[in-house]
Structure 1
Amino acid sequence: MDQARSTIFKMLNGEPRSYTRFNLTENMEGDNSQVEMKLSSDMDEEVGGNGVGDHLNHNSERSPYVARKPGRTPKNICFMAATTLLIFIIGYLIGYLVHRKKDLAPSCAASKLDFNDDVPEAFHETRAAPLMDWDKVEKLLAQQLSVSNFDSTFREFASNSHQAGSPGDDALANKVLKRFKEYGIQTWTDEHFIKIQQAPASGFNKVVFKGREERPQGFLSYSATGSRTGAVLYAHYGQESDFRMLQGKSINVNGRVILVRAGKISFAEKVYNAAKLNASAVLIYPDPDDYPIGENTQIYGHVHLGSGDPYTPGFPSFNHTQFPPVQSSGLPSILAQTITANMATNIMRQLGGETLPPEWGGVTKLGNETDLVTVEVNNVLTERKINNIFGVIKGYVDSDRYVILGAQRDSWGPGFARSTVGTSVLVELARSISEMVKHEGFRLRRSIVFASWSAGEYGSVGATEWLEGYLSSLSMKAFSYINLDGVVTGRDSFKVAASPLMYSLIEGALKEVKAPSKPSVTLYDQVSGPHWEKVVLEELQMDDAAYPFLAFSGIPSVSFRFTSNSDYKYFGTLLDTEDKLNSATSSQTPQFAMAAAQFAGHIALRLVHDHLLRLDLQKYNSIIRSQVAEINRRVKTVQRYQPQLLPKALSVQWLISASGSYSRASRALAKDSENSDLEDIEMCRLINDRIMAVERNLLSPYVSPKDSPFRHILMGSGPHTLNALSTHLEALRLSNPEADADLFRNQFALATWTIQGCANSLAGDIWALDNEI
């Protein structure tokens, strides 16, 4: 630079009073050094005499100038001007190039460029427009998934012993973690100390009937313990309707030992229904007509009417957490034990009493007061450490928003259909999407989290404890959960249980994923068609891992499965092996697993690819309207026949108004989405946040997550739900002693405002509310 200045001096035949200095300074906020061009003068004093200095310094800051010496010719002045212009142009070009390079880097990232590093930085998208067409994304995913990969992954993750917290479970966790690291995705683990019930280590459980003692190996975790003696009473499947039939026959359930078949509803629901009528114990067996699995096959399960660790309801089971002793209200107060089909047959052959109703079979007897049986349960409550394993592929625009793909890792026995297939699908999706990002140029707009849960067999314990631990952040950032448990159990049909917000996504996936048994057609053409909702959709059950995500956390969730016309019979047994599953799929298990991965991958990638989340707010309109209409009808019925319970002044108009507010707000948001500028990242984010808030705002804020964890008023469980309001009205009409008119009116008012609050949130800004209440 000094040499250049000297040259200029010689050209101008004079000493430069003012010069241009290029200052290379490191930009600590950006990725590159920036060039600072600074004009300065060697003169600190003002120039007097001709008034030029006064003119240039009328402000506090002095402007640069070139002092003209006497005797300079016009030619010299032209040279000086030309040189100054040349230097200015060079400085401008350098500054332009440097700033242009800076603009290509993420504006929000603070990093330092290492010139010794030959590996280029990952490109971060700075606009809302996609970097890859959706059709290409689909093709890339299909190319990454293959039958041969699933064959090898099955072999890697198959295990004969991997109960929650066992060495086998830990070994599988390490394999999943190793795989995630190999794919180059960020990993972490989540440790919990949970309480589970196990079969007695030194003793046994037993059932004694008319002098014959049986010692079943199967058991039901979270049963009450002790010994009870009572008369046997057969109650079919143990559903509420079955018990109503018995009561209709004036049969007393109090103190009886209830014998029921497995199926229709969960073990926990069977025990809960019996406990409500003061039964002393429940015996559950697999009837050969429903479960052709062998007369001596043992069955395992749990009877907690809920999910998660029942000894830390509503809060996480972290180590050293000092909570007072507490337990879930869903824990049964009566004994529960499984027995084999052969044990059940020996009992039923000797029963007296009335003959079974024709619709129940009409062959054996119901049992009478002299058919005494003793049930003894000696399960042991133990503490186990479990680990959830996570990996994340981060998004390039909204990295703090994510979809979660999860699968349970543990099982009572081999658990091939229960856990091995789901874990394999999880791992293969992680590999496939990471390959698309690293080698195919795919850029996720939002993040994908891959989760491997433990203690799923005890009631989605690992998943629920994670939700409880991070509820405040998850409810704001996790916008969907896709469950991969039991995704392949047969080949004849396809079933989906999900939040209504995800129905449009499901339909789109059905139309684009090929049927595994007939690749020339889509799943939509093979198993559903235009009436796909009636054919494919089913109710989300409490023992499904997707249920707590939806009903407890307010995260739109989906669970799906390829199945047979008759359900897979080996869950909860030691016979859930690869051979049994191959028999159910005609030895096409890898093909169906690949199709399951494509279906889950389609939904996940759609959610992280598109500008706006494809969650259909209109689906809840019809559900809310139909339930409000049913409540309205039943309120009028009670007011007509039991006017002393519900006064005429009680109006359903406010609930109808809240329903209308939701309808208008959802339509307005749909219109905003259609008219939005997809290039505007901030606008898309605001709209997506409003969409994400819908499910969360349908959680009743008026009940405690500790006492009523499933707070969702449409999909949850408890007296705060709209379904419970309808049931309560029916109890009022029948003058049921358990009915409480004041309690109903309280829950009625709170449900009304919950819907209105959801509509208010959906509307967005406070001045955009349509609140008529």
Structure 2
Amino acid sequence: MDQARTTISKIFNGEPHSYTRFNLTQNMEGDNSQVEMKLSSDVDEEVGGNGVGDHLNHNSNRKPYVAQKLGRTPKNLCFVAVATFLIFVIGYLIGYLVHRNKDVSPICPAAVFRAEETAVRGETGAAPLMDWDDVKQLLAQKLTASKLDSVFSDFSSTEHRAGSAGDEGLGNKVLNRFKEYGMKTWTDEHFVKVQDPPTSGSNKFVFKNNPEERPSGFLSYSATGKTTGAVLYAYYGRESDFRMLRDKSINMNGRVMLVRAGRNSFAEKVANAAKMNASAVLIYPDPSDYSIGDTTQLFGHVHMGSGDPYTPGFPSFNHTQFPPVQSSGLPKILAQTITQSMGNTILRQLTGQNLPDGWDGYNRLGDEGDTLTLEVNNVLTEKKMNNVFGVIKGFVDADRYVVIGAQRDAWGPGFAASTVGTSVLVELARSISDMVKNDGFKPRRSIVFASWSGGEYGSVGATEWLEGYLSSLSMKAFSYINLDGIVTGQSGFKVAASPLMYSLIEKTLKEVKSNKAVSLSAQFAKSNWESNVLEPLRMENAAYPFLAFSGIPSVSFRFTTGVSDYQYFGTLQDTRDKLNRVTSSQVPQLAEMAGRFAGHMALRLVHDHLLPMDLRKYDSIIRYNVAQINGKVKNVQRVQPQLLPKALTVQWLNSASGSYSRAARSLATDITNSDLEDIQMCRIINDRIMTVERNFLSPYVSSKESPFRHILLGSGPHTLKALSTHLDALRTDNPEADADLFRNQFALATWTIQGCANSLAGDIWSLDNQI
């Protein structure tokens, strides 16, 4: 009877169906689980195009074509009678068989289900799954230090500033390599506005009666013009440094702040100074942090954001008609880098108060008589920048992909900043392409390799691509791996990433061997990998806009000196010789390890049935932030009851946090009880996982005003960290605090968390009323 049913099904339905599968869905509390079974024939639907099984068809209600055709034009009554009888018999049999299919109980015992599934399972249509140990071994064979060493020479350049002929030439080299490897390639062109040093004249400053100084380094996106003010030494220009100066009752209005490079970004230093109503900022490399020479110039940018600041929130495509607008992250004060000798000359002549405790350097902070005149004449110019892409298509879910990217531009040679990352990018593309073509590796999902331009101006190329294709990328790209600055030392290893990727990172640390023949985990992670290896993802990192702007789980990593950041970033001395000094000439070996670390993560993401992402990590982070806010709300209600009345309850925030926790546990249960050989089932679960990061982007703020909308890892008043800080201001009755604004942001953050929980939980009809 089963064979007859299969044969009739083939004849009347015209195409085969997939094997038996089931879906297990739980309510928000994890109770009353139901099992839904769908039965079909043993024969799977063929996987079309590149092995992608995106359109499995389980519809069994179509009318048979033969039944429609017979009996329309009978030529004699006898034939009509016989035909009618045959149609009746066949129709009866079909109805009986279909009725049997539909009457299967949706809550049959688990033992019955397993027996039935075993009996009818056939080929799934998925790509053959290569053993993971074999995948790792293949990558190790193909990605080697000797091959990387030769690629370094191919992609080294003394001049490849973004938008230059050198930058375009390197981009064409990358594109040709991708084509040689048989990858599908394309380019993405943007016309962006950047600020360059003056084409005629120069930036300059005069301190007291000293000779005029003309530094050749510069800070892109500084305000332009001329200003005069008294110099005030502000250490590293951090918020804590300015608070210390304010506590000493020092007037900072109109002052020219002299700050050290390092510890935070140029943009953060300038933004912090602007909050103090300073008129300008001078940044120098102090000899206690930098041994780069007295006359080395520094280059960088001061946009408190990423991408083209003159098209905030939307892409810089050619001839795009947008009204003139500027990013809220552009500074309104002058900013300029100076050399070490210039900085020391100023410091030696400062008067005024003594340095605060804990600050090292010269003895005085500066007084009203220590005047300095600064003139910044940077010019705004439009440049064409090309991003270059190549893709290795997946064999099951080709429209889902991990992106691996590296910037290729630099202020000067940029060997550590861009050459190493670009070389590893190209070699990873070659190695994995070869695995697919010659070794039988068939990734389930796709891998996109991206070479960005404009990295030194604030991840311009990467951010413009995200802005241009945000609606598509947020549904398709499930991870980003950043290769910028991956080798800057050899004695330390640091990783910054989305918490969703922590478990994958931990496993990869244990799998990849260092040049000491031990795992990276054993060498660098020690007993606690999170405390010894993890670091915050900074705004200047190219992975940051992927995470905080686009909601794509991202990771960035680097071998470090273990003491400080690489000293030659942002200088014209970032050469291979300088990098060899801090790595004992082990650059190829370190690049190989970095490539395998990135490659292992990427291959695991496209190899496994389910995306290896741990939703529980965000559960603990949310609970920690909620506990902090709860305690501070109660504190403010006790100290300043007129600002936050007792009617303001934290019940809804607690409930939203609980909703996320239950939804994460529910999905984990669904995964445990699901058939992971079912292509469509895996796709549904993976899509639920992919919504998590994206749904932490607050839907209530403008991407133009607050582009980094992530409420846990973003930047702006909508974040949980900002809510906690706002409560501190309310407790001390700070005049900048606003109780009504806090209550509004508090409510919106609550609903953002609840919305993420609802999306993670599954279908809308499966949800209970949580709040």
Q: Counterpart of 2:635?
A: 637
In 2, the alpha carbon distance for the partners of 1:45 and 1:55 equals 10
Aligned with residue 523 of structure 2, among 518, 521, 526 = 526
Q: How do 1:501-516 residues align onto structure 2 when only pairs under 5 Å count?
A: 501-516=500-515
Q: Hey, what's the Cα distance between the residues in 2 that align with 1:469 and 1:513?
A: 36
Q: Distance in 2 between matches of 1:310 and 1:215?
A: 27
1:768 aligned to 2:763?
Answer: no
1:707-765 Cα distance to aligned partner (Å, 9 max, x none): 11000000000000000000000001111111100000000000000000000000001
What is the 5 A alignment of 1:357-756?
357-361=356-360, 363-516=362-515, 518-519=516-517, 521-566=518-563, 567-756=565-754
**In 1, Cα distance between the equivalents of 2:491 and 2:768?**
48
Q: Which amino acid aligns with 1:750?
A: L
1:486-544 alpha-carbon deviations (Å, 9 max, x no partner):
0000000110000000000000100100012x02x110111113410110000000000
**Equivalents in 2 of 1:752, 1:675: separation in Å?**
31
* Paired letter, 2:629: I
Please say if residues 405 and 450 of structure 1, whose CA atoms lie closer than 8 Å, have aligned partners that are also in contact.
yes
The answer for unaligned runs of 5 or more in structure 2 is 1-45, 50-65, 90-122
Calculate percent identity across the aligned residue pairs.
73
RMSD of equivalent CA atoms: 2.3
Residue 142 in structure 1 maps to residue 168 in structure 2: no
2:408–2:451 Cα contact (<8 Å) kept: yes
Question: How does 1:57-456 map onto structure 2 within 5 Å?
Answer: 57-58=83-84, 127-128=125-126, 130-211=128-209, 212-361=211-360, 363-456=362-455
Q: Comparing both chains, which one has the higher relative contact order based on Cα–Cα distances under 8 Å and sequence gaps of 6 or more?
A: 2
Aligned to 1:22: none
Kindly state the Cα deviation for residue 213 of structure 1 after the two structures are TM-superposed. Answer: 0.7
- Note if contact 2:127-2:443 (Cα within 8 Å) is conserved in structure 1: no
Tell me the SS of whatever aligns to 1:358: coil
Letter matched to residue 544 of structure 1: N
In structure 1, C-alpha distance between the alignment counterparts of 2:362 and 2:319, rounded to whole Å: 56
What is the rounded CA distance, in whole Å, between the counterparts of 1:723 and 1:292 in structure 2?
Answer: 36
- Work out whether residues 225 and 375 of structure 2, in 8 Å CA contact, stay in contact via their aligned partners in 1: yes
**What is the TM-score with the length of structure 2 in the denominator?**
0.85
Amino acid at match of 2:645: P
- Whole-angstrom CA distance in 1 between matches of 2:225 and 2:639: 46
Counterpart CA distance in 1 for 2:153 and 2:199 is 31
| TM-score of the superposed pair, with normalisation by structure 1 | 0.85
Q: What is the letter of the counterpart of residue 554 of structure 1?
A: G
Contact 1:126/1:397 (<8 A) preserved: no
Could you say what secondary structure the match of 2:212 adopts?
strand
Are residues 60 and 237 of structure 1, via their aligned partners in 2, closer, same or farther at CA, if it must alter by over 3 Å? Answer: same
Q: Distance in 2 between matches of 1:665 and 1:768?
A: 11
Which one-letter code corresponds to 2:227 in the other structure? R
Q: In the alignment, residue 588 of structure 1 is paired with which amino acid? A: Q
Q: CA 1:586/1:573 → structure 2, altered by over 3 Å: closer, same or farther?
A: same
Q: Residue deviations 1:229-286, cap 9 Å, x none?
A: 0000000000111111111111000000000000111000000000011100000000
- Counterpart code for 2:233: Y
**How far off is 1:127 after superposition?**
2.9
Matched residues, number: 675
CA–CA distance in structure 1, aligned partners of residues 663 and 543 of structure 2: 27
Could you tell me which residue of structure 2 aligns to residue 56 of structure 1? 82
| Cα shift readout 1:11-66 (whole Å, capped 9, x = no counterpart) | xxxxxxxxxxxxxxxxxx9999xxxx9xx9xxx99789xx7x57633459899xxx
Residues 561-582 of structure 1, C-alpha deviations (whole Å, 9 max, x = no match): 0111222110000010001111
How many angstroms apart in 2 are the aligned matches of 1:739 and 1:54?
88
How many angstroms does 1:180 deviate by?
Answer: 0.2
Contact 1:482 1:557 in 2 (8 A): yes
CA apart distance, 1:591: 0.5
Distance 1:30 1:301 in 2: 50
Instruction: Give 3-state SS (helix, strand or coil) of 2:358's partner.
Output: helix
> Quick one: distance in 2 between partners of 1:199 and 1:58?
89
Q: Are the structure 2 counterparts of residues 157 and 260 from structure 1 closer, same or farther at C-alpha, using a change threshold of 3 Å?
A: same
8 Å CA contact 1:129–1:678 kept in 2: the answer is: no
**What residue is the counterpart of 1:20 in the other structure?**
none
CA contact (8 A) 1:129 1:611 kept: no
Give the secondary structure class of the aligned counterpart of 2:558: strand
Q: Is the 1:760–1:770 contact (alpha carbons within 8 Å) kept by the matching residues of 2?
A: no
Q: Distance in 1 between matches of 2:83 and 2:133?
A: 64
CA distance in 2, matches of 1:57, 1:251: 103
Q: Take 1:200 and 1:289, find their aligned partners in 2: how far apart are those partners?
A: 31
SS of 1:359's partner is: coil
- Are the aligned partners of 1:186 and 1:392 in contact in 2 as well (CA < 8 Å)? yes
Residue deviations 1:326-361 (CA, integer Å, cap 9, x gap): 000000000000000100111111111012123112
Letter in 2 for 1:56: V
Amino acid at match of 1:352: T
